[in-house]
Structure 1
Amino acid sequence: MSESVNRWYYFSGILAPIWLLLGVIISGSFYPEYSHYNQAMSELGAKGSPTHILSPVINNYPLGVLFIIFGFGIIKTFSTSRLARASGVLVVIHGLSSFAAGFFSCDVGCALESPSTEQNIHNISGLILFVSLLLSSLMWVFISARCLGVRWFGWFSLVCSIFSIALLPLMAGAVESGEAFGLYQRVSYGSQALWVLVFSIVLLRLKA
């Protein structure tokens, strides 16, 4: 790939976490009394919410495009490593899941009791979205030194993955209590978004 094309692939990975942060903040500002601390990000696009149409348009769809571009960049960059290419495929799947999670909204309040078919699809998309990026980051625990020549990034990938997984029990408890779910969800996904940001910067410096 040419140097200029490389930069566009990698820059999309840098832009995605920044876009995520700004998109959620902007969407939340149009949702009266929305709590980033207690409420899930999915509630921004839930049926009947003030940001039902706005949220996927400025969050899910643009993010899906950015992750897909970044994923293809990984695939094209590491043509000789199956695991590295597989990690790129997982990032592409993450992007496609972002589209699906935005197109299929959860019900009002995203309640888990008696969910509609559309919410079930949304929940499955969200699960794939989480697992795909988590698995992608875990792969670099084992191949960072070989593919990048950067050992610290393998350890960084491990820390981000463990941190994201460790917050899952807290998220489950927050569903029961109704408090702090939004915080735990944002920190959990934020750790993976940070991994994408750092990975993009590493690629930009070493490969572009």
Structure 2
Amino acid sequence: MKTKKLLSLGWITLVAFILGTFILGSLLEDYSAISQTVSEIGEEGSPLYLQWQVFSIGIGCLLILFGIGIISFAKKKELSLVPGIFILFAGLSQFGIGFFPSPHPLHNVFGLSMTLGYFSPLVFALGWKNQLGLKFKRLSLIAFILIVLGIFLNLTPAFAPSLYPLEYYGIVQRFLLFTFYIYCTLISVRLIYSSLIVGEPELNKK
């Protein structure tokens, strides 16, 4: 598969994730996107268990292929492969999350391992700081700050349950997930644009 097509999977993943969680969630009786996590759509015993498992694994595969596309792009441009590896790892974590639906013990293990993938905006900002341009570097750092905030809010029920009403936990989790997938879209668009510039030696367009 051509690098450009692999890079396009970044924004495709965002669209697929938003549509998939919305459609499957709407099919589940009494499910609330405001208070419940996305994993609860396909947890053990759910009538959408199989559908959610296939969907989650599919999202993981898209991320893995997207990461491969970034690595391929980096090789062609002689850039660091590390950012692509972080995205690839996020895909592997998502694959595990889907393969072991809640409440399987490994579901949370893979969920925590996703944290490494969440650091990808920082890795892009530092690893490709002179190639993607100042504007994209700033966007990467903003995305990373928002993701760190999302991680903090997702973990607070474990040590500070009174910080916010738990009936809004579904929104909190989606804030983290959507921020990450929106950032993948930004990467996708930026790199596709760069790959279309024939003969461009660098990516330091502002």
1:133 aligns with 2:130: no
- By how many angstroms is 1:173 displaced? 4.2
Per the alignment, residue 151 of structure 1 pairs with 134
Aligned residues of 2:60 and 2:93 also touching (Cα < 8 A): yes
Deviation by residue 1:154-185 (Cα, 9 ceiling, x = unmatched):
11111111111113333334564531111011
Pairing 1:1-208 to 2, within 5 Å after superposition = 5-58=2-55, 60-79=56-75, 80-82=78-80, 85-107=81-103, 118=104, 120-129=105-114, 131-148=115-132, 150-173=133-156, 176=161, 177-208=165-196
Contact 1:97 1:128 in 2 (8 A): yes
Give aligned pairs, total.
189
Cα offset for 1:50? 2.1
Q: Distance in 1 between matches of 2:51 and 2:74?
A: 36
Distance change (3 Å), C-alpha of 1:8 and 1:61:
same
Aligned amino acid, residue 167 of structure 2: E
Greater helix share, structure number: 1
| CA distance in structure 2 between the aligned counterparts of 1:78 and 1:147, rounded to whole angstroms | 11
Instruction: Give me the whole-angstrom Cα distance separating, in 2, the residues matched to 1:5 and 1:46.
Output: 36
Contiguous gaps of at least 5 residues in structure 1: 108-117
What is the CA-CA distance between 1:13 and the residue it aligns to?
0.9
Structure 1 counterpart of 2:175, one-letter code = V
Cα distance in structure 1, aligned partners of 2:54 and 2:19: 13
Structure 1 segments, 4+ long, off by >4 Å, are none
**1:97–1:169 CA distance, 2 compared to 1 (3 A):** closer
> Is contact 1:144–1:151 with CA below 8 Å preserved after alignment?
no
Please report how far the alpha carbon of residue 198 of structure 1 lies from its aligned counterpart in structure 2 after TM superposition.
Answer: 0.7
| Residues in 2 aligned to 1:139 and 1:157: alpha-carbon distance in whole angstroms | 9
1:99/1:33 CA distance change after superposition, 3 Å: same
Q: In structure 2, give the amino acid aligned to 1:123.
A: N
Q: Structure 1 residues 132 and 179, CA, compared in 2 at 3 Å: closer, same or farther? A: same
- Separation in 1 of the partners of 2:16 and 2:169? 21
Matching residue of 1:111: none
SS in structure 2 of the partner of residue 53 of structure 1: helix
Please tell me the residue identity of whatever aligns with 1:89: I
SS of 2:36's partner is coil
Q: 1:11 to 1:86 in 2, by over 3 A?
A: same
RMSD: 1.7
